[in-house]
Structure 1
Amino acid sequence: MIRSKPDEEDYWNSSKFRAFTFDDEDDECSSLKESKRTVNSIPLDDDEDEDEVEKVSWSGEPVGSISWSIKETASSTQSSMRDQGFPKIDTTPSLTKQGSGYSLSSLFKGRSKTGSFPSFSESLSEVSTRSFAPELRKPKSEYKDYVSDWTPKETVKRMQRGKVYSLETFRSLKDKLLLLDEAVSALDGNVITAVLIYLKKSLSKEIISRELMSREIALRHYIHYLKEVGEQKVLLDLLKSLGRTEDMALLQYREHLNLKDELRRQDFLKNCVSLPFAPDDANHVQDHYTLLERQIIIEVNDKQVEGKGQTDIFKKYPRKASILNMPIITTLYYSCFYHYGESEGMYSSPANIRQTFKISEKQYFLTALGARAKLKAWFDVDSLFTTKNWLGYTKKRSPIGFHRVVDILQKNNAPVQVLQEYLSLVEDTELRISLAQKHKCHDIIIDTYKDLKDRQKLIVYRGKVERGSPEDRKIDSLLNNTQIRWKN
């Protein structure tokens, strides 16, 4: 509405607000002060009667109540938002005189009564700004974070950067698969898993199985995810539909870990033997079942014998733990410790266990040596390495290096005489001398220098032994022996 000049002068003269002109004072500061007084003369008290304050628009035209002005603005904003594809949001605030947090000055200043800008979480600043000051609306490009029409590539990038994203907009199978392929191309496991979780919720098991069959990377992530969350049935169905029977069998076999009762576990493993494993895995499962069966028998028998207290080995070395569910090498060690020397027909016999589970000679020697050395059974240790040839001569033979034998014996506090016996069998001269020095086996060093006919090293070594000791006298005897032809 456009007024004529006389009407406009009458309007301002009759207004309750005091007007001012720039002609009143030439001083710029005075004009600013006058402007400030005029703005401050606008009542801010909500309790003041609404009819006593005439409302004006930017053009100076009365437009009714404040509520009318706000509703009109919000209405036009809602219409604009619908045109832009925004979700429906009630942007019309309740501005009763008692409950309103805004005054007329807030329409000009964009502030609340408190003088601070309203936060997003408190008043949806984006919406509020559009409601009260539509002329200050931000460019449409800045609303990108609130729009969910991104392409698969854009969505994946947002997921990687931790920005807001939405997967629900990908509704068709084609779009979902494009999203999955884009996630795989990004080589980001978290993004791939997130997309797979969405596909799991929105697609049938049959479709997922069919599509993942040609997407190996996504399939591996999906299988790993199902294992992590414990969705056993879904995983079994997936593997079955993919024809991966061996993986199905291994997955079922893992269930024995959840069984605490040994008899139930034994029955479960017995059923697992018939599952379609690969040949190597089938042998492993069979051995596992046989081992548990053997352990149950040994455990029951040894528990009874130990309880009676009539066997020296159990009296001197009480069992610290049950043998049930122990690995095969631990079972062999236990057998060599408590049942060494039993006939091969006994389930607890080391020879029986070695034969049943096809334990290698080297592994058997290492385990038996450790068990017998722990008991200080040096005769048994010696018998492990003593062999006879076809002429009846005995010699010591070991499937492991004798330097390793020496280390094992030393860790079990073997006496010097035992250590020296096996040190002398170490073929490498420098290694033999080094080990002899380490374990203080003087006779080995002296004999080695004698065999090398190295008089100078023998003289040097005499300075390292105690004066008047058997080793010192032995060195003197060798140095004075005129029959030995020394190199120097």
Structure 2
Amino acid sequence: MSVRYSLKGDEEDEGYWNQKEKRQNFFDDADDENEIIDWTGTRIEEFTGSQVTSARGTNKNASFTKPSRPVEIANNFPKTVGTKNLSKPTSSSASSLESAVKRDSKLSHTEVSKLYAEVTSLKRKLQSSERSRWDAPKVSDTIIRMVMGEPFSLEMYKSLPDKLTLLDSAIEYHDGNSITAIVLFLKKTLKNSIFISELRKRPVAINHYAVYLRSMGDEEVLASQLQILGRKEEAAMCRYRLTLQESSPQARYQSMKKCTDSYFEGSKILHRETVLLREQCSLLNKQILIEGADSKASRERKPPFADCPKEAELYFLPLITTLYYCCKYHFNQSQSSISSPESLVKEFNMSEKQYVMTAAKACANQRKWADLDTLLAPKKWIMKTKKPTVGFDRIVGILLKAKAPNDILQKYMLMMDDTTKRLETAKKYKIHSVVIETLKQMRDLRGLQNYRTEVTYGSSEDIQLQTLLKNTSIKWKT
């Protein structure tokens, strides 16, 4: 069956196609069946032979004449084929299903029941899907997604057991990023007391949490959190690092004192560190006092800074450097003075060797040979021993670095106990008088004779050597 449509009339046959009346007829011509369809797509009446049924009514006397050509259809009207409308249905609800069933007598009661059952099942599945979209997925699935770097959400886990299961599962997977993410989620969603209590049971989680805080540069929060979590040693060292960031001496002193009282004091494990930290606080306080007085004296050009200008500030210097500073500028001050080297040695329990070596360097660099003699005199030794604990070979080494004159070198080289080392040192630095005197003490006649080539003819050393060779009272070694 073929259907032909027409909405426009033929300009040559205005009587048959009248546009002013705004009515169109549709014709269909087929070999086995002929029918007329109006513009809504409804069949008006079948016709056979000469009977024609139109939208205007029935005319038995009319005869059907096939149109000369197919008529075009307007684009804004629905296309129909037979009795079926090709436009998209507007509704698929259950009510429309019922009306459709009534119109179509071919559906049986069993088929209708099946359709209703299918609709009911689809409704239940839709409701179940709407409810389950807010249910939390399995913990293992979420952890795997986190480990694999896929999108995930932790907000759907509401209960405490689920949250702790998440953390324990991440720890079992040994994935640091997952552990850190879950710890931060717990901190955000749990009470602080519960968060701290649960985190204390999981040291691995604390480690990752501490690394995260340190990477964020929040040392203050890291120190407080570590102390709350029971990591007192780590919290103390973290807080100590914060005190060292203070640039002002007074501010660092106050911060260090507070750190000692709050984080170090009372800890048996940190007892030794507590003692050292208290000494550091005392040293910084002493440096503040000494620097304040010396800066004023330097500005006013008062001794000792009139002859020896102040080179640098004393703040934050080590103990041995502070001692060197005091020996350099305040060597002769009484022990009761705050800047006295002896008071510094006594307060911080420094050894005799530390004091003698540091003071000798200060005196040699300042070329204060009288102060050096005073330092090495027995009455100046702090421990009141017969001789200093520092060997004169080390004193000679200090004098050589300071480029001391030969008479000073000769004086202290002759005090060296080891004659072999003294002879080697004197030969190396060409202190001829010391070499000659040492060979005399060793009664080495051949050594004296061979050393004649090293001294200048007619010099004092040559005269000394010739005198020794002519002295018959000396018992030389053969």
TM range (shorter): 0.5 to 0.7
Segments of structure 2 that go 5 or more residues without pairing to the other structure are 1-139, 265-269
Q: Does 1:268 align with 2:259?
A: no
Matched residue, 2:355: 364
**Which residue matches 1:35?**
none
| Structure 1 partner of 2:421 | 431
Q: Do the aligned residues in 1 keep the contact of 2:183 with 2:209 (CA within 8 Å)?
A: no
For 1:280, which of 259, 272, 276 is the aligned residue? 272
Identity rate of aligned residues, in percent?
A: 33
Deviation at 1:408, TM superposition (A): 0.8
Question: Matched residue pairs, number?
Answer: 319
For residues 276 and 350 of structure 2, the distance between their equivalents in structure 1, rounded to whole angstroms, comes to 13
Tell me if 1:419 matches 2:409: yes
For residues 245-277 of structure 1, the C-alpha deviation after alignment (integer angstroms, 9 at most, x for no partner) is 344334333322232233333333343342241
| Other structure's SS at 2:306 match | helix
Confirm or deny that 1:320 pairs with 2:303. Answer: no
Q: Structure 2 vs 1, CA of residues 267 and 155 (structure 1 numbering), >3 Å: closer, same or farther?
A: closer
Distance 1:281 1:151 in 2: 43
1:235 aligns with 2:227: no
Q: Secondary structure, in 3 states, of the residue corresponding to 1:432?
A: helix
Say whether residues 1:256 and 2:231 are aligned partners: no
The amino acid that maps onto 1:307 is R
| Residues 155-170 of structure 1: pairs in structure 2 closer than 5 A | 165-166=149-150
2:473 matched residue in structure 1? 483
Closer, same or farther: CA 408–247 of 1 in aligned 2, 3 Å: same
Cα deviations across residues 186-218 of structure 1 (Å, max 9, x unaligned)? xxxxx75x45543443443765874575646x7
C-alpha deviation, 1:373, in angstroms: 1.2
In the TM superposition, residue 347 of structure 1 has moved relative to its aligned partner by 1.0
How do residues 53-68 of structure 1 correspond to structure 2 at under 5 angstroms?
none
2:284 maps to: 292
Matching residue of 2:72: none
Give the residue type in structure 1 aligned to 2:244: L
Partner of 1:377: 368
Note if contact 1:249-1:276 (Cα within 8 Å) is conserved in structure 2: yes
Does residue 198 (structure 1) correspond to residue 181 (structure 2)? The answer is yes
Residues 304 and 177 from structure 1, CA distance in 2 versus in 1: closer, same or farther, beyond 3 angstroms?
Answer: same
- Indicate the SS of the match to 1:315: coil
Separation in structure 2 between the aligned mates of residue 244 and residue 421 of structure 1, nearest angstrom: 59
| Residues 178 and 208 (structure 1), Cα distance of their counterparts in 2 relative to 1, 3 Å cut | farther
SS of residue in 2 equivalent to 1:370: helix
* Counterpart contact for 1:199–1:208, Cα < 8 Å: no
Amino acid at match of 1:407: G
The whole-number CA distance in structure 2 between the counterparts of 1:211 and 1:410 is 62
Residues 215 and 464 (structure 1 numbering): CA distance in 2 closer, same or farther, change over 3 Å?
same
Q: Which of 280, 295, 304 is equivalent to 1:303?
A: 295
Report deviation, 1:326.
2.0
Partner letter of residue 335 of structure 2?
E
**Cα distance in 1 for residues equivalent to 2:282 and 2:401:** 33
- Relative to structure 1, is the Cα distance of residues 209 and 408 closer, same or farther in structure 2, using a 3 angstrom cutoff? farther
Specify the code of the residue in structure 1 equivalent to 2:401.
Answer: K
1:349 aligns with 2:340: yes
Distance 1:167 1:406 in 2: 74
| Structure 2 letter corresponding to 1:294 | K
> Which consecutive unaligned segments of at least 5 residues does structure 1 have?
1-147, 157-163, 184-190
Per the TM alignment, residue 314 of structure 1 is displaced from its structure 2 partner at its CA by: 0.8
Q: Provide the residue aligned with 2:377 in structure 1.
A: 386
CA contact (8 A) 2:167 2:179 kept: no
Note closer, same or farther for the CA distance 1:478–1:213 as it changes in structure 2 (3 Å cut).
farther
Out of 320, 329, 332, which is 2:323 matched to? 332
Can you list the C-alpha shifts for 1:20-40, whole angstroms capped at 9, x where unaligned?
A: xxxxxxxxxxxxxxxxxxxxx
Residues 479, 225 of structure 1: alpha-carbon distance in 2 compared, 3 angstrom cutoff = farther
CA contact (8 A) 1:239 1:247 kept: yes
Q: Is the 8 A contact 1:436 1:445 kept in 2?
A: yes
Q: Is the Cα contact below 8 Å between 2:200 and 2:229 reproduced in 1?
A: no
Correspondences of 1:93-108 after superposition (within 5 Å): none
Higher helix share: 1
| TM-score computed with the length of structure 2 as normaliser | 0.58
Distance 1:411 1:235, change over 3 A: same
| Distance verdict in 2 for CA 1:476–1:306, change over 3 Å | same
The offset of 1:235, in angstroms, is 1.9
Letter in 2 for 1:436: A
- Please give the secondary structure, in 2, of the residue aligned with 1:400: coil
- Structure 1, residues 210-235: CA drift from partner, whole Å, max 9, x if none? 4575646x755654553343223442
AA in 1 matched with 2:460:
P
**Whole-angstrom distance in 2 between the partners of 1:471 and 1:465:** 7
Give the letter for the 2:413 counterpart.
Answer: L
Trace 1:31-42 onto structure 2 (pairs within 5 A): none
Counterpart CA distance in 2 for 1:195 and 1:472 is 86
Letter in 1 for 2:439: Y
In structure 2, C-alpha distance between the alignment counterparts of 1:271 and 1:253, rounded to whole Å = 10
Contact 1:336 1:350 in 2 (8 A): yes
Q: CA separation of 1:318/1:175 partners in 2, compared to 1, >3 Å: closer, same or farther? A: same
The 1:246/1:446 distance shift into structure 2, 3 A limit, reads: same
CA displacement at 1:407 relative to structure 2 = 1.0
CA 1:475 to 1:224, structure 2 compared with 1: closer, same or farther past 3 Å?
A: farther
In the superposition, the TM-score normalised over structure 1's length comes to 0.57
Does the 8 Å CA contact 1:416/1:441 hold for their aligned counterparts? yes
What is the alpha-carbon distance in structure 1 between the residues aligned to residue 242 and residue 456 of structure 2?
65
Q: Equivalent residues in 2 for 1:57-96 (5 A)?
A: none
Higher Rg of the two aligned structures: 2
Letter in 2 for 1:476: Q
Aligned counterparts of 1:234 and 1:395: Cα–Cα separation in 2: 54
Distance (whole Å) between structure 1 residues aligned to residue 247 and residue 473 of structure 2: 74
Counterpart Cα distance in 1 of 2:143 and 2:277: 49
Partners of 2:146 and 2:466 lie apart in 1 by 89
- Asked whether the equivalents of residues 209 and 238 of structure 1 are also in contact (C-alpha less than 8 Å), the reply is no
* Pair 176,271 (structure 1): closer, same or farther in 2 beyond 3 Å: closer
